[in-house]
């Protein structure tokens, strides 16, 4: 591609996404449905483009975090089922119904609000009941002494006018962590969830259509937890140990080009705070990738980007819009050359580890001025930047 046209861009490989989707489908078997999590602008990959691809591939459901995210998809031609995982204000319930968006119901108070609004509007709101089995975030508490109360609350919600309880779900807190303790915790959550579902179904005298709980870790590793549908996010985008285990491909590659190169004598301080001092005659390149693009500032002096001639260390503080890299032993690398910030030859997992964070945070941090360039079969098929122009 013509790299000189762009400042800094994220290549989003839809062929890799498609490969990952098919590979996960193969892994879960053909009886289990697939919900793709596309919240947070599809983990920074662009929710519309990713959802279009998932829709055309035959995914069963999408999940987002808010009604704004859901409406973006509906306004852009996504017709498949969408579940909102977070809360929606009661004033917006008519829009949920009108645009056929499924809403999570997380407690009795919300159930009542949604029911009242749906009745007022004269429609039916499709809902999935959220059970809190140990994440301690959203959902009906059903642990220990709360069991009967939780189950009764869920049964009430399912019987409320204006609500159609299509599904029930829970979220695992440590399914992506190693060790016996984590495994036991997840198994406990899963068992509690099954107990709740069974008790509710007994009281209701009917079954839920969609019971789901498997996030990335469980989708990769815990087939017993699939129930009717899996709900992976990160796995789909091809990052992390589970993706590697399944042989999935990273969808995003972050690239930039070298703006300028200068040679400094020994003893020169580089960037804000003079955090780095050259220890010899040093050839420094400037790249237009800073913390306002999503380059975590804590990586200052600690991370290397990939050039055509190998890894080049970031020197000194990462600035808002750019940073400096050491090209001293790379005379063949020049102004205008492409640099891979993370991607197939410079894994995001390594970047996350050095930054003491997770790949999730890095892809979500990619900011709106970074062009998203979509590839299919190695060719650019679409490009967008989220600035008002
Ligand atoms: C974000 C989220 C997921 C996806 O998590 P991953 O770890 O990316 O697979 C699934 N379910 C819920 C409720 C979520 O909030």
Decide: 171 in ligand 1 pocket, CB within 6 A: yes
DSSP-assigned beta bridge partners for residue 283: 263
Decide: 330 in ligand 1 pocket, CB within 6 A: no
> What fold, for 252-384?
Lyase, Ornithine Decarboxylase; Chain A, domain 1 (2.40.37)
Decide: 215 in ligand 1 pocket, CB within 6 A: yes
C-alpha separations of 212 from 186, 221, 366 in Å:
14, 15, 30
Question: Can you give the pLDDT at residue 5?
Answer: 59
Distance from Cα 233 to the centre of ligand 1, integer Å? 6
Decide: 231 in ligand 1 pocket, CB within 6 A: yes
Name the residue with tokens 């009917």. 206
Q: Please write the tens of the pLDDT for every residue from 314-325.
A: 999 999 999 999
Decide: 85 in ligand 1 pocket, CB within 6 A: yes
Reply yes or no on whether the pLDDT at 1 is more than 80.
Answer: no
Per the rule left: phi > 0, alpha: psi between -120 and 50, beta: everything else, 122 is left
Comma-separated ranges of CATH 2.40.37.10 domains in the chain: 252-384
Question: Can you give the pLDDT at residue 192?
Answer: 98
Residue identifier of the C-alpha nearest atom 6 of ligand 1: 233
Work out which ligand 1 atom sits closest to the CA atom of 130. 13
Q: Percentage of the chain surpassing pLDDT 70?
A: 99
Distance from Cα 37 to the centre of ligand 1, integer Å? 7
Residue 367 in tokens: 């900011």
Q: So which residues are the catalytic ones? A: 39, 272
Q: Please write the tens of the pLDDT for every residue from 110-140.
A: 999 999 999 999 999 999 999 999 999 999 9
C-alpha separations of 294 from 58, 95, 276, 285 in Å:
32, 33, 21, 19
Reply yes or no on whether the pLDDT at 285 is more than 80.
Answer: yes
For a mutational test of ligand 1's pocket, the pick from 36, 63, 137, 248, i.e. the residue with the most ligand atoms closer than 8 A to its C-beta, is 63
Question: Can you give the pLDDT at residue 6?
Answer: 77
Cα 292 to chain centroid distance, Å, stands at 19
8 Å CB contact between 163 and 114: yes
Residue identifier of the C-alpha nearest atom 13 of ligand 1: 171
- Which residues fall within 8 angstroms of residue 83, CB to CB, at 6 or more apart? 35, 61, 62, 63, 64, 101, 102, 103, 104, 128, 167
Sorting pLDDT into bands at 50, 70 and 90, what band is 389? confident
Reply yes or no on whether the pLDDT at 363 is more than 70.
Answer: yes
Residue identifier of the C-alpha nearest atom 10 of ligand 1: 215
What is the C-alpha separation between 211 and 234, in angstroms, rounded? 20
The CATH number for 32-234, chosen from 3.20.20.10, 3.40.50.920, 3.40.720.10, 3.40.50.300, is 3.20.20.10
Reply yes or no on whether the pLDDT at 56 is more than 80.
Answer: yes
Question: Can you give the pLDDT at residue 337?
Answer: 96
Reply yes or no on whether the pLDDT at 4 is more than 50.
Answer: no
Comma-separated ranges of CATH 3.20.20.10 domains in the chain: 32-234
Reply yes or no on whether the pLDDT at 142 is more than 80.
Answer: yes
Q: Please write the tens of the pLDDT for every residue from 76-89.
A: 999 999 999 999 99
Name the residue with tokens 């400037």. 286
Average pLDDT over residues 286-298: 98
Decide: 83 in ligand 1 pocket, CB within 6 A: no
Sorting pLDDT into bands at 50, 70 and 90, what band is 103? very high
């Amino acid at each position: 591609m013509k790299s000189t046209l762009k400042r800094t861009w994220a290549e989003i490989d839809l062929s890799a996404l498609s490969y990952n989707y098919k590979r996960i489908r193969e892994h879960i078997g053909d009886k289990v449905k697939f919900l793709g999590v596309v919240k947070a602008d599809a983990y920074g990959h662009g929710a519309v483009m990713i959802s279009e691809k998932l829709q055309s591939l035959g995914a069963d459901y999408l999940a987002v975090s808010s009604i704004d995210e859901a409406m973006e998809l509906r306004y852009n031609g996504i017709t498949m089922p969408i579940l909102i995982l977070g809360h929606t204000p009661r004033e917006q319930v008519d829009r949920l119904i009108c645009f056929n968006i499924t809403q999570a119901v997380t407690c009795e108070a919300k159930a009542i609000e949604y029911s009242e609004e749906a009745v007022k509007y004269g429609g039916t709101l499709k809902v999935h009941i959220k059970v809190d089995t140990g994440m301690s975030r959203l959902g009906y508490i059903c642990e220990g002494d709360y069991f009967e109360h939780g189950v009764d609350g869920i049964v009430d919600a399912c019987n409320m006018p204006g609500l159609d309880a299509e599904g029930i779900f829970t979220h695992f807190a440590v399914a992506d962590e190693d060790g016996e303790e984590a495994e036991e915790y997840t198994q406990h959550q899963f068992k509690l969830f099954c107990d709740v579902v069974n008790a509710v179904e007994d009281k209701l005298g009917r079954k839920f259509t969609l019971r789901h709980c498997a996030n990335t870790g469980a989708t990769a590793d815990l087939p017993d937890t699939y129930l009717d549908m899996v709900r992976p996010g990160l796995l789909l985008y091809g990052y992390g140990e589970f993706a590697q285990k399944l042989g999935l491909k990273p969808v995003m590659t972050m690239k930039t080009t070298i703006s300028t190169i200068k040679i400094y004598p020994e003893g020169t301080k580089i960037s804000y705070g003079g955090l780095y001092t050259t220890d010899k005659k040093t050839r420094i390149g400037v790249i237009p990738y800073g913390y306002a693009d999503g380059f975590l500032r804590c990586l200052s002096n600690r991370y290397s980007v990939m050039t055509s001639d190998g890894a080049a260390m970031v020197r000194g503080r990462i600035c808002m819009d750019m940073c400096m890299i050491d090209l001293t032993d790379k005379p063949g690398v020049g102004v205008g050359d492409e640099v891979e910030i993370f991607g197939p030859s410079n894994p995001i997992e390594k970047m996350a580890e050095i930054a003491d964070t997770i790949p999730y945070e890095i892809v979500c941090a990619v900011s709106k001025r970074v062009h998203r360039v979509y590839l299919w079969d190695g060719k650019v098929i679409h490009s967008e930047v989220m600035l008002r122009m």
